[in-house]
Chain A
Amino acid sequence: MTKDDLRTAVHEFIRKNFLFDAGSPLTDDQSLLGSGVVDSTGILELITYLEETCHVKFADNELVADNFDTIDRIAAFVTQKLASKA
C-alpha cells in the first residue's frame, strides 16, 4: 500500500466511522484529537483499524499524538513503519 493509498483509506475510515458520511468537512491536516472528531475511546477504534488493516502492531512508545493526530501524520508514520518491517 502506498502512502497515498493509506491516506485515502484512513480518510475513508474516519469519514465513515467517525463522521458517518454526513458531509462534515474533513481535511488530511486537521487535528483529529484537537477537533474532537476522535476522542480518547475513538483513538482505540482507529488504532485497532490500522493494526488489522495494515497488519502492524504499535508499541506503547509509538502511541503518541505526534504520530496519530492528523491523517497526514498517520499515513507518514504507518508507511515508514511498514517500510522498516519489509
Chain B
Amino acid sequence: MCGIAGILNVAERHEPPTLELLTAMVSAIRYRGPDEYGVYRDRRAGLVHARLSLIDLASGQQPLANEDGTLWIVFNGEIFNYIELRKELLALGHKFRTQSDTEVIVHAWEAWGNDAFRRFNGQWALALWDSRKGTLVLSRDRIGVRPLFVCAGEGRIRFASEVKALFADPAVPREIDPAGMDQTFTYWTSVAPVSLFRGIEELRPGCVRTYAADGSSEETVYWTPAYPRRGESYPLTLGEATEALEEKLERATRLRILRADVPVGSYLSGGLDSSVTAWMGRKAKEGVFRTYSIRFEDAEYDETEYQRAMAATIDSAHQELVVRRGDIARVFPDVIRHTERPVLRTAPAPLYLLSKLVRDSGIKAVLTGEGADEMLAGYDIFREAEIRRFWSRQPASAARPALFNRLYPYLARSPQQAKGMALQFWRQGLERTGDPGYSHEPRWRVTSQVKRFFARDFRAAIAAAPAPDLLAGLPAEFAGWDSLARAQYLEVVTLLSGYLISSQGDRMLMAHSVEGRFPFLDADVMEFCNGLPPSYKLAGLNEKFILKRVAAGHIPDAIIRRPKQPYRAPDAASFLGPGAPPYVAELLSEDAVRDAGVFDPPAVRALYSKCAARDAAGELFSNADNMSLVGILSTQLMHHTLIRRRDHESGGHITFTTRVDRAVPQQLPETA
C-alpha cells in the first residue's frame, strides 16, 4: 500500500522529467507511504513511489525492474495470490530477486501481457514502463479500491494516486469540472473516467490502459460486474451455497491476514458485515487480534452495545474512539483534503479519526466489512426498489406501499396522513419499471436537489459539456439480468467505487498511513456472490439472507437479528451554532462562493441563514437542506484546499532510498 506517480514524455523535444517535479509529486502524497521513497528516471519517463511496507519489508522497494532492467513498475496495493502466481512463473523459468508481490506483477506481465491482470486477486493501482518499446501500462483493480488519476496533454502523460500529486506539476490545469460536479450531485460521486477536475481523468476500475510510444492510448476492460440471466437455474441448494460462501469468505480473509509481514487488525461497526470479517480474521491467526470501533456521543448514531458484544465473542484487544459533534467540524477540512471530492454526508470524518487511532496503536492494515451490502444486497435501496415494483403492479393498493413501514421505522411511527405525503415521493415514476435506473431514480432525484444551488454560469457549463450518460453506457447484458442484479450493478459502479471505498475507505485510511483490506471484495467472493440467485441474497425483504446463515451460531444473535442500521454521523448540525469553527462562515460567504464559481452566492447565504435559524430554534432540517449544506461546504473546502491554497505543495524534504537515474548520469544531483 503506497502512493505512486509518474510522467511520460510522448514528444521527443521534451526534456526528461525533472527530479524536482517527481519529488514534488510524491511529496504531495507522502502520507500514503511514509516508510521509504523511490525514484526511477530515464530520458522519457519518470516514476516515483512512497512506500508503506507490508510485504517483504527488506527487499520490496520500488520502483522495481525485471531481470534486465528494461521494465519498471510502481505499484500501490496488494496482489493477495502472489505466492501461487510466483510458483507458476518459476515453473515458466522466471527468476526472482525478492519475495515481494511487486516483482510477481512484473514477471506476470512479461509472461502473459495484459491478460495477467485477470489472474490477480487483489487491490491495486499500478504503472508499468517498458523502456524498450516505449509503452506505459496503467491498471486498476476490479472495483477501484486503489485510486489512479491521469492527466494527458502538451506532449506528456502524468499519472498519480491522488489529484494533488498531479497538481504539483504547474502545467496541469486547476479547475473544477462541471460534468464531475453534476454527476456528484446525482450519483453521490463522479463516475470514472469523469473526475472532479477539468483535464484529469480517473482510470476506470477493472481496466488497463496502454500508452504507445506516440502517445496514443488503448483501453481494455478486463473485468466488470456480471450476473446470471433472469430465471437462470442455479446448481447449489441454499445449504450448499451457504457452505461455499463461508469457505470462500474464510479463504479471502485468511489471505488478507496472512499475506502481510505485519499484524492486521479489524474494524467493528456493530453490524453484521464487520462482525463476520472480524470473526474470520480472528480464526486466521493465533495471538493478539486487534479491533477498533467508533462510538458516538449522540445516542442516535451509537452502536457500542453491539461492538462490545462482538469484541467479547472473539476476545479481541478492542479499542474505542468516542466521536463528538465538534470533532466532525474540526477535522472536516482535512477530510476533504483527502477525499478530493465533495461529500453529502459527514460520515467520512469519524473514519478519518479512527484510522489515526489504528496507526497510533501500531497497526498498518485493517480488515473492514465493506462490499457485503453491495454483493449480498444489504441496502435499503434494494428493498425499496422491490417494494416499488410490487406496488406498481397494483398502484391503488394501500397494503403494498405499507411495506415501506418495514424499511423506514420513522414512517411506522408517523400519523397516517404523513405516510401519504411520503408515499407521494415514491409514487413518482412508479410504473416505469422497465427503466434501467428504476432502483436508483428516487435517490438520484433527492440528491439532485443540491443542484438547486448551482450558479447560472455553472449550469450553462454543464449543459455545454455534459457528462456521458451512465445509463446509456450499461453493458449489453444488463437488461437480461434480474431487477435486483441491475440495482446491485448500479450501486457497485457508483456509490461503492466512487464513495464508499474511496471517500469513506482508501482516502480516510491512507490519510494516516493505514491500508484497508476487504474480504467481501475478494475476486472469488465477488464472482460467487454475483452468481447467486437473487432470493439467496434478498429473501422477501430479508437482506443478506445467506450471510446471516453463515454468521448463525458464530456471531451474537442480537447482531444478526437487529434491523440493518446505516452507518451515519451528525451532518449539517455539526457546522452550526456557537461552537462552529470560523471556516464555515468564511467559506460560505458570498465572496468565497463567487470565487469558487460553482454555486449561486445569495442562494447559499439564504440556505445557511435558514439552517442556522432552524438550528438555533431547535427545529429539524429537511433532508434536502441537510445534504445541500454538507455538499456545498465540502465543495467550497475542495476548491479552497486543492485549487486556491496549494498548501500540499509545501511537502519537500524527501530522501530517496531507491534511486535509479538514467536520464543524465553524468550530472546526478546529490539529493533531491
- When C-beta atoms are compared, the residue in chain A nearest to B459 turns out to be A23
Contact call B417/A64, Cβ cutoff below 8 A: yes
- When C-beta atoms are compared, the residue in chain A nearest to B430 turns out to be A34
Contact call B622/A36, Cβ cutoff below 8 A: no
Contacts of A17 in B (CB 8 A): 610
Whole-angstrom CA separation of A63 from B423 in the bound complex: 13
Whole-angstrom CA separation of A21 from B625 in the bound complex: 14
Q: Which of B427, B606, B622 contacts A39 (CB 8 A)?
A: B622
Q: Which of B406-442 contact A (CB under 8 A)?
A: 415-418, 420-425, 427-428
The stretch of A4-12, A41-49, A76-84 that contacts the partner chain? A41-49
Contact call A68/B421, Cβ cutoff below 8 A: yes
Contact call B602/A21, Cβ cutoff below 8 A: yes
User: In this assembly, does A65 line the interface, its C-beta being within 8 Å of a C-beta of chain B?
Assistant: yes
User: In this assembly, does B95 line the interface, its C-beta being within 8 Å of a C-beta of chain A?
Assistant: no
Contacts of A62 in B (CB 8 A): 417
| Given A22-B454, A31-B428, A33-B425, A39:B417 Cβ within 8 A | no
User: In this assembly, does B456 line the interface, its C-beta being within 8 Å of a C-beta of chain A?
Assistant: yes
Q: Which of B418, B445, B453, B625 contacts A35 (CB 8 A)?
A: B445
Q: How many residues of A contact B (CB 8 A)?
A: 31
User: In this assembly, does A27 line the interface, its C-beta being within 8 Å of a C-beta of chain B?
Assistant: no
Contacts of A21 in B (CB 8 A): 600, 602-603, 606
Whole-angstrom CA separation of A19 from B604 in the bound complex: 10
Shortest C-beta distance, B391 to chain A (Å), equals: 14
Q: Which of A22, A38, A44, A69 contacts B452 (CB 8 A)?
A: A22
Shortest C-beta distance, A44 to chain B (Å), equals: 8
Interface residue tally of chain B, by bracket?
Answer: 35 or more
Contact call B453/A41, Cβ cutoff below 8 A: no
Contacts of B620 in A (CB 8 A): 41, 44
Contact call B424/A31, Cβ cutoff below 8 A: yes
Contacts of A45 in B (CB 8 A): 622
Contact call B623/A33, Cβ cutoff below 8 A: no
Shortest C-beta distance, A42 to chain B (Å), equals: 4
User: In this assembly, does B474 line the interface, its C-beta being within 8 Å of a C-beta of chain A?
Assistant: no
User: In this assembly, does B663 line the interface, its C-beta being within 8 Å of a C-beta of chain A?
Assistant: no
Whole-angstrom CA separation of A19 from B622 in the bound complex: 13
Q: Which of A22, A61, A63 contacts B421 (CB 8 A)?
A: A63
Listed in ascending order, the chain A residues whose CB lies under 8 Å from chain B are 16-24, 31, 33-45, 60-65, 68-69
Q: Which 8 A-B pairs have the closest CB atoms?
A: A34-B428, A22-B603, A20-B603, A33-B424, A41-B622, A63-B417, A65-B424, A42-B622
A-B contact pairs, 23 of them (CB 8 A): A18-B452, A20-B602, A20-B604, A20-B606, A21-B602, A22-B453, A22-B600, A22-B603, A23-B456, A31-B424, A36-B445, A36-B448, A39-B624, A42-B624, A45-B622, A60-B415, A60-B417, A63-B418, A63-B420, A64-B420, A65-B423, A65-B424, A69-B424
Given contact pairs A36-B448, A39-B624, enumerate 16 new A-B contacts (beta carbons under 8 Å).
A17-B610, A18-B624, A31-B428, A33-B422, A33-B424, A34-B425, A36-B445, A36-B449, A38-B622, A39-B622, A40-B418, A40-B622, A63-B418, A64-B417, A65-B424, A68-B421
